[in-house]
Amino acid sequence: MPDKFLKPYNPAETETRVYEAWEASGFFNPDNLPENGEPFTIVMPPPNANGSLHAGHALFITLEDILIRFKRMQGYKALWLPGADHAGFETQVVYEKKLEKEGRSRFQMDPKDLYDEIYAFTMLNKTGMEDQIRQIGASCDWSREKFTLDPAVVLDVQKTFVKMFADGLVYRGNRTVNWCPKHQTSLSDVETTNGEETAPLYYFTYGPFTIATARPETKFGDKYVVMHPDDERYAKWKEGDSFEAEWINGPITATVIKDEAIDKEFGTGVMTITPWHDATDFEIAKRHHLPYEQVIDWRGRLLPIAGEFAGMKILDARPKIVEKLALKGLVSKIDDTYRHVAKRCYKCNTFIEPQVKDQWFVKMAPLAQKAMEAVNDGAVRFIPENYEKIFRYWMENTLDWNISRQIVWGIPIPAWFRNRGTDAEESVASLERPDGDGWEADTDTFDTWFSSGQWPLIMTGFPEGKDYATFYPTDVMETGHDLIFKWVPRMIIFGLYLGKKVPFHTVYLHGLVNDAQGKKMSKSKGNVVNPLDLTSKYGTDALRMALVVGNTPGTDLALSEERVKGYKHFANKLWNIARFVLEHTGEADMKTPLVAHDAALRKEAEDLLAEVTKDIEEYRIYLAAEKLYHYVWHEFADKILEESKEILRSSDDEAKASRRAFLVHTLDAFLRALHPFMPFVTEEIWQSLQSKDAAFLMIARWPSS
């Protein structure tokens, strides 16, 4: 028995050494595996290279590594493809915060300089994160790693856009977008949050009508009142009737419009419209061919149309405008109990200002239709199953996807414009500048999800790479349940559009990792747990077990330090079991026939291993881990080892020989079974076992078929 077993298990001493040996062996790359089985592929959700690893990363790395190691031991060509995401807007926000702290602003910087700075920042973080992923024990193939801003990836993504343009699936749209005045970019619908708020609802006299509004500051240019065509209260007013009204900055002439978008029950059933700053109003204006004008600028300040209020921020202007209207006797009521839903930027919480803007949109309906059909045909399975409903809901209710972002940190949109802002405006998608004079390049970049949506294709080398032929479609997409609508549908859509096949057959969705009380971790609450602190304190294997035991898919996990500590004890237990077995067996004769009692115990163990195998195959990882833990500690150690002491002290040579073989065999089998969950301690012990039959436990045979 090696002397190291005389001391408690030391994760810190073991982990780096073992990982380096694995990596050097080349077996993370399936091309080097001794067996040439069927491929099994997982694309790693590329972490955002703008910070360090958090507990959620540790969870997904663990889950995916368990599946990969399990399949590798079963003889599959197991390929886990790591990558990193530039995470456009997210990273730019992180970097802008940094600039803010330094008293700088991106709006005073040359875009090229800004890009270069963010690039350097991201590359530094990327390297750091790769090391951290190694620390969690990820057996991914680093030789195939990609970054979303690798030149080849950029080109692929741009080609997709050009193809979609040619296929009529992207178009230049001039319409209402979600505008963040702080970050000065438009955002997709999934990049905004909806919060219920209480805001005063003002009732103003508007000529012969009373209108209700929560946004007086947008009302300067309003010259149309709209009501429902069936509203009997206003039956005497006909579409096109006009009237005089005293308004904020003097008298105006207004016109009556009838539209079914108006809710008769809300307010007075009459409203004025501001097409530039409200999506519903924009639609009404389009239907009735009404003019529209910008009232609020891109920074969230009032434009000259506001007269004396020009240049003011909307929240400052609002009370002053109401005050002025009150002096004119035009305020009839203020309802302070009005609750409504307001959209905010999901990063800075600033109110979204709807603005009309030219952007590139992806036509979602035909693409979503295909994704739906694939799911209906059973080509993609969701775990847990109920997420399929959520997926369907999203695919049935798609809005066209705005993919233009007014930020530098991203993949440039290969588009060109001519005669911009005039009736003769032309816009084309092309990798090269089109022929002819006057073309200017689009300065916008793609929404990050436009590139990450193509990730399974990109990682497998679509369309001509050799990996694409072998490993696409991939097998499992394991990611957070919050990505069910942000990421998963886009991957399925792009997979079907470009690759003609779904990119994976199974979507496994994990929950959030919360603090010990089940509260969401956040920097402001100060309850963020750094997974690397936990691995250095208790060992990576302990953290991995704490993250997966009893953690059902789709459900959030409360991660307490006590929990991790418990599994550190388990790693040590395993270590001492090995010590006992090694001490008492010496060179056991593995061919010794087992006595009846030992054969029965062995049957029990084999039945359990068969169950565990089935559990993992059916993605009940939480259950498999718990069963192994329970058997090893409370059966093998507490009962079988205790009973062995007496047997091995006895003078029954047949029973002794049988028991020695049984102990070695059982320890060996459970080290194999535990290896995907606790790779380090199991590998370290297994290297000292007489039953060792491969260079690494990592590539040894799974103990049950």
| 654: exposed, middle or buried (Cβ count in 10 Å: 0-12, 13-18, 19+) | exposed
The answer to whether 138 touches 65, Cβ cutoff 8 Å, is: yes
Cβ-based nearer residue to RNA, 165 or 631: 631
Q: How does strand 224-227 pair with strand 270-272?
A: antiparallel
Q: Write down the least CB distance from residue 557 to RNA, Å.
A: 7
Cβ-based nearer residue to RNA, 120 or 600: 600
- Which residues are registered as beta bridge partners of 384? none
Cβ-based nearer residue to RNA, 10 or 29: 10
Q: Characterize 253-287 residue by residue with b for buried, 16 or more Cβ atoms within 10 angstroms of its Cβ, and e for exposed.
A: ebebbbbeebeeeebbbbbbbbbbbbebbbbbbee
Q: Write down the least CB distance from residue 16 to RNA, Å.
A: 18
Cβ-based nearer residue to RNA, 9 or 497: 9
Cβ-based nearer residue to RNA, 123 or 214: 214
Cβ-based nearer residue to RNA, 95 or 575: 575
Map residue 394 onto helix, strand or coil. helix
Q: Give start and end residues of each alpha helix (H) in 500-590.
A: 531-538, 540-548, 561-585
The kind and range of the H/E element at 355 are: strand 353-362
Q: Write down the least CB distance from residue 450 to RNA, Å.
A: 18
Q: Write down the least CB distance from residue 37 to RNA, Å.
A: 26
Q: Write down the least CB distance from residue 268 to RNA, Å.
A: 7
Backbone angles phi, psi at 230, to 5 degrees: -95, 10
Q: Write down the least CB distance from residue 310 to RNA, Å.
A: 21
Cβ-based nearer residue to RNA, 409 or 575: 575
* Alpha carbon distance 658, 550 (integer Å): 35
Cβ-based nearer residue to RNA, 122 or 268: 268
Cβ-based nearer residue to RNA, 161 or 662: 662
Which one, of 178, 500, 160, 610, lies nearest residue 354 by Cα? 178
- Which residues are registered as beta bridge partners of 443? none
* Alpha carbon distance 48, 133 (integer Å): 13
Q: Write down the least CB distance from residue 548 to RNA, Å.
A: 11
Q: Write down the least CB distance from residue 181 to RNA, Å.
A: 17
Q: Write down the least CB distance from residue 233 to RNA, Å.
A: 12
Q: Write down the least CB distance from residue 185 to RNA, Å.
A: 19
* Alpha carbon distance 666, 662 (integer Å): 6
Map residue 313 onto helix, strand or coil. strand
Q: What is residue 306's DSSP assignment?
A: G
Cβ-based nearer residue to RNA, 462 or 619: 619
Cβ-based nearer residue to RNA, 198 or 376: 198
Backbone angles phi, psi at 383, to 5 degrees: -125, 120
Q: Write down the least CB distance from residue 18 to RNA, Å.
A: 18
**What are the Cα distances from residue 504, in Å, to 39, 153, 492, 559, 584?**
13, 20, 8, 30, 48
User: Taking the C-alpha atoms of 234, 240, 246 and 249 in order, what is their torsion angle to the nearest 10 degrees?
Assistant: 130
Tokens matching residue 456: 């399974």
- CA angle 526–539–47, rounded 5-degree value: 60
